[in-house]
Structure 1
Amino acid sequence: MTGERRWRLVDVAASAGISTQQVRNYLADGVLPPTDRTPSGYRIFTDRHVRALAVARRMAEGHGWARTREVLAAVHRGELPAALAALDAGHAELDHERAEIARVLGAFETVLGGRPAAVPRRDARIGEVAAQVGVRTSQLRLWEQRGLLRPHRQRGTGYRVYDVAEARAAQVVALLRRGGYPFEIITAVLDELRSTGRPDRVRAELARREQELNRRSLRRLRASAALYDYLDATGEPARPLDGG
């Protein structure tokens, strides 16, 4: 820490607009590097702590506080590979979300592009719906068990009864299953259709999610750049790259 300016605890807190107790919490969590102490027992804060605090705030904007604590604590323990692994996991989550949006959109386009079978324009029992959709009644029961279909029960008899919306849902499930889509994607498509009720709104919602995902990705990119600059200032990246 030779040559670095010393900071008082209150000034470190003021640099980020937080309380002194939050600074102490960040120290305890490893978000900030360890401090030395004066002979009288006071913590010694330096420019590095202020830089680490600024990086932590930027990291939290992109990755959230849980992953920020994980990454910076690993860095300050000298475990850079663990920090990089945590960062990679965060970017992998975004990649998974992006792929899921694409798959849901693809499945939705499959539904719109498919040739819909004529479904009853009134409440219908399971046998009639199965015949119209082209599957066995046992298949409809299985989809109901998985939460994909929600028929109601007829009073007195207990027979399953499908209204027009549920008959359409059965058609969607059958179409997507024939296309090889997994149940989680089918569930997502049905949820979208049930929540919006209109195909154009589904498309708009998926587009909105994709744009938000892009914004989150950019925030993480900025966070990673800030972290790299912090590591570069302390010489951290050079060690693994040099094989030392």
Structure 2
Amino acid sequence: MKHLRPHDLAREHGISTQAVRNYERDGFIPLARRTPSGYRTYTEVHAAALRAYLALVQAYGYATGGEIMRSLNTGDLDGALTAVDRGHAQLLRDRSTLDAVGRAVEHLTRDREVAARASADGDPLSIGELARRLGVTAATLRNWEAVGILSPAREPVTGHRSFGATDVRDAELTHLLRRGGYPLEHIRTVIRQIRTAGGTEALSDALDDWRRRLTVRGVSMLDAAARLGGYVALHGITPARPGAAGEAAPGPESPPTV
């Protein structure tokens, strides 16, 4: 088997030899062999591990990428696969949230009258005044506050709620989305995104960028899976496949026989 120096591994990725040693120390690549004089020597297995780790970092981030590689390098294949599955599940949740927010923003954009009224400045309103403006009860507004949609200021002396222009906008948009049948948890996400973006139009642009980043992450996961599969095979930690001894392996949707 071909032997590689730390410099060989580092040069492929444009990183320092110290980074390679750090990755070895942290368990992201297997331990190096040592020459009689004490120098590190690596193999193609180490090179594959480094490629897999750096691809995982792009797809899952440093923490999860490191968790996956440490699990593999200590023989915990199930632990590594569980971390991979969590990453895919998070991506799916992010896509679902993005779709829900996108539909809500389309709803808001169609009702330009409400959007314009919600964007207007004005004097702060009490909870009763805002409730009358929307045609809802004060209890409804308190519920929206409790779930994190509204966050009104408090009068310093009386402690009464004071809804400024931004709070009124959020309440107007919440009322519109509730009439459209959206659950409060989706509305909370939309309102928070609107606060961050600065309005529904800016949020639409932000959603386009959000979708692009999710696509990039998904493609990065595909690349990481290929690198990881190559490392697992080269490292010899792939479990025996069902049916290897002549039995018919169940299909991916077949329940196990009891």
TM category, shorter:
0.7 to 0.9
Alignment partner, residue 5 of structure 2:
8
State yes or no: 1:53 paired with 2:55. no
CA contact (8 A) 1:149 1:166 kept: yes
Task: Single out whichever of 61-70 and 204-213 deviates more from structure 2.
Answer: 61-70
| Residues in 2 aligned to 1:155 and 1:29: alpha-carbon distance in whole angstroms | 52
Alignment partner, residue 217 of structure 1:
218
Aligned length in residues: 240
Alignment partner, residue 141 of structure 1:
142
Shift of 1:157: 6.5
Which aligned pairs between 1:51-130 and structure 2 lie closer than 5 A? 51-113=48-110, 116=114, 122-123=122-123, 124-130=125-131
CA contact (8 A) 1:107 1:181 kept: no
TM (norm. structure 1) is 0.81
Shift of 1:240: 4.7
Alignment partner, residue 30 of structure 1:
27
Inter-CA distance 153–81: structure 2 relative to 1 (3 Å threshold)? closer
| Residues in 1 aligned to 2:183 and 2:57: alpha-carbon distance in whole angstroms | 35
CA contact (8 A) 1:107 1:189 kept: yes
Gaps of 5+ in 1: none
Gaps of 5+ in 2: 246-258
Shift of 1:217: 0.8
| Residues in 2 aligned to 1:121 and 1:20: alpha-carbon distance in whole angstroms | 58
| Residues in 2 aligned to 1:97 and 1:148: alpha-carbon distance in whole angstroms | 19
Aligned residue for 1:6, secondary structure, equals coil
Alignment partner, residue 171 of structure 2:
170
Shift of 1:219: 1.1
| Residues in 2 aligned to 1:12 and 1:222: alpha-carbon distance in whole angstroms | 19
Inter-CA distance 24–16: structure 2 relative to 1 (3 Å threshold)? same
Which amino acid counterpart does residue 94 of structure 1 have in structure 2? Answer: L
Which aligned pairs between 1:144-223 and structure 2 lie closer than 5 A? 144-152=145-153, 160-178=161-179, 179-183=181-185, 185-223=186-224
Inter-CA distance 137–227: structure 2 relative to 1 (3 Å threshold)? same
Shift of 1:144: 3.4
Give aligned-pair identity as a percent: 34
Inter-CA distance 146–234: structure 2 relative to 1 (3 Å threshold)? closer
Shift of 1:96: 0.9
Shift of 1:99: 0.6
1:204-240 C-alpha deviation (Å, 9 max, x unpaired)? 2112211111011101111111111222334433535
Shift of 1:110: 3.5
Shift of 1:58: 2.2
1:5-56 C-alpha deviation (Å, 9 max, x unpaired)? 1223343333433333322221122211233334454443222212222222
| Residues in 2 aligned to 1:241 and 1:235: alpha-carbon distance in whole angstroms | 17
Inter-CA distance 142–22: structure 2 relative to 1 (3 Å threshold)? same
Give the superposed CA RMSD: 3.1
| Residues in 1 aligned to 2:238 and 2:53: alpha-carbon distance in whole angstroms | 18
| Residues in 1 aligned to 2:54 and 2:215: alpha-carbon distance in whole angstroms | 20
| Residues in 1 aligned to 2:37 and 2:194: alpha-carbon distance in whole angstroms | 66
| Residues in 1 aligned to 2:167 and 2:29: alpha-carbon distance in whole angstroms | 55
Inter-CA distance 163–64: structure 2 relative to 1 (3 Å threshold)? closer
Aligned residue for 2:61, secondary structure, equals helix
| Residues in 1 aligned to 2:21 and 2:164: alpha-carbon distance in whole angstroms | 60
Task: Single out whichever of 213-222 and 46-55 deviates more from structure 2.
Answer: 46-55
| Residues in 1 aligned to 2:6 and 2:151: alpha-carbon distance in whole angstroms | 59
